[in-house]
């Protein structure tokens, strides 16, 4: 389905981003990985995807919270693999605290990585997509791009902003062969969520299993985690011909969370 397409996925050395990269590679897309980690581990991931799916792969260590490096990631994809047909903005961080106690530097860091990086990659990639008459932009937002939770001022603001950016880009790109959509996962068991489980277990004196049950029961009616593979599957679908007329949408994978 995606043979000959080049996909750039930020934050793709683990978790949801890696699952998305693998899903796109499974459809034949060449992949540019990005993110942090041990060099040997990242090389093993890159080589593994190339071998398993028979696609070209590259890794770029850009710190996409920095505007020039975010733009440079897209330019590197063009130079090394010949383009950027698919852009998935997945990189993100989290911090929780009441507004009055929220460190200003954490606010700035979360906005930079969870929101501004998407602007900088999109503004660099979309002229290439327009030139080819085809492109797919998938922004990994969150259920917190649709609803709010306490102690997450920066994250909720960034994800709401990302959903808004998605809609603007979709309108501007309409009719030019380029779509832009947001995926809004609820609880997905990733290292980011594991930290929240650990905090909850410590604060409530719970076992890890009990903290997981407590977390899910509070928000996610299905009482089950979504999986990285499910997010990857939806991202791949949004790049398929069946999704040619799906644009400007915020698509939830949240076990009913945002339906409440």
Check whether residue 25 and residue 108 sit in a common domain: yes
Judge whether 92 lies within some domain.
Answer: yes
Mean pLDDT of 153-177: 98
Residues 155 and 208 in one domain: no
Determine the 3-state secondary structure of 63 from DSSP. Answer: coil
In contact, 76 and 62? CB cutoff 8 Å: yes
Average pLDDT over residues 110-138: 98
Residue 253 and residue 27: Cα distance in Å, rounded?
Answer: 21
Does 26 score more than 80 pLDDT? yes
pLDDT band at residue 250 using 50, 70 and 90 as cut-offs: very high
With a pLDDT cut of 90, the percent of the chain lying above it is 96
253 and 133 belong to one structural domain: yes
For the stretch 129-159, pLDDT in tens is 999 999 999 999 999 999 999 999 999 999 9
| Mean pLDDT score across all residues of the chain | 96
Same domain as 72, residue 199: no
- 96 and 66 within one domain: yes
Q: Which domain holds residue 40?
A: 6-187+227-259
What b-and-e string marks burial along 56-95, b requiring 16 or more CB atoms within 10 Å of the CB? bbbbbebbbbebebbbbbbebbbeebebbbbbbbbbbbbb
In DSSP terms, which residues pair with 167 in a beta bridge? none
**130 is annotated as an active-site residue:** no
Q: Is the pLDDT of residue 192 over 90?
A: no
Asked if 58 and 44 sit in the same domain, the reply is: yes
Q: Is the same domain home to 207 and 252?
A: no
Question: Are 62 and 111 found together in one domain?
Answer: yes
Distance CA 249, CA 61 (A): 30
Please report whether residue 133 resides in a domain.
yes
Same-domain pairing of 115 and 94: yes
Give the pLDDT mean for 79-94.
97
Is 24 among the domain residues? yes
CATH of the domain at 54: 3.40.50.720
In a domain, 31, yes or no: yes
Over residues 210-217, mean pLDDT: 93
130 and 193 in a single domain? The answer is no
Q: Which residue has the tokens 């793709």?
A: 12
* Within-domain flag for 1: no
Which residue in 53, 59, 107, 155 is the catalytic one? 155
Instruction: Examine the domain organization and report whether 17 and 49 are in the same domain.
Output: yes
Instruction: Tell me if 108 is assigned to some domain.
Output: yes
**pLDDT tens, position by position, 32-47:** 999 999 999 999 999 9
Q: 243 and 201 in one domain?
A: no
How would residue 93 be classed by pLDDT, with cut points 50, 70 and 90? very high
Would you say residue 138 lies in a domain? yes
Cα distance between residue 59 and residue 164, in whole Å: 29
Count how many domains the chain has: 2
């Amino acid at each position: 389905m995606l043979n000959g397409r080049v996909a750039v996925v930020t934050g793709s050395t683990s978790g949801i981003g890696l699952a998305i990269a693998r899903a796109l590679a499974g459809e034949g897309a060449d992949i540019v990985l990005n993110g942090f980690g041990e060099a040997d581990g990242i090389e093993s991931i890159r080589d593994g995807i190339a071998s398993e799916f028979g696609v070209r792969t590259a890794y770029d260590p850009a710190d996409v919270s920095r505007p020039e490096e975010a733009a440079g990631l897209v330019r590197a994809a063009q130079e090394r693999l010949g383009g950027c047909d698919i852009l998935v903005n997945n990189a993100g961080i989290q911090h929780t605290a009441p507004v009055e106690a929220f460190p200003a530097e954490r606010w700035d860091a979360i906005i930079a990585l969870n929101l501004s990086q998407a602007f900088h990659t999109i503004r660099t990639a979309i002229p290439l997509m327009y030139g080819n008459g085809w492109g797919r932009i998938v922004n990994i937002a969150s259920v917190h791009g649709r609803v709010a939770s306490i102690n997450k001022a920066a994250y909720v603001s960034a994800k709401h902003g990302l959903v808004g950016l998605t809609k603007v880009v979709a309108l501007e790109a309409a009719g030019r062969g380029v779509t832009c959509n947001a995926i809004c996962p609820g609880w997905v068991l990733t290292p980011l969520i594991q930290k929240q489980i650990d905090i909850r277990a410590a604060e409530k004196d719970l076992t890890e299993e009990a903290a997981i049950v407590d977390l899910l029961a509070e928000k996610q009616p299905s009482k089950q985690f979504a999986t990285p593979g499910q997010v990857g599957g939806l991202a791949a679908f949004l790049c398929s011909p069946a999704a040619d007329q799906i644009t400007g949408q915020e698509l939830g994978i949240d076990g009913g969370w945002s339906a409440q």
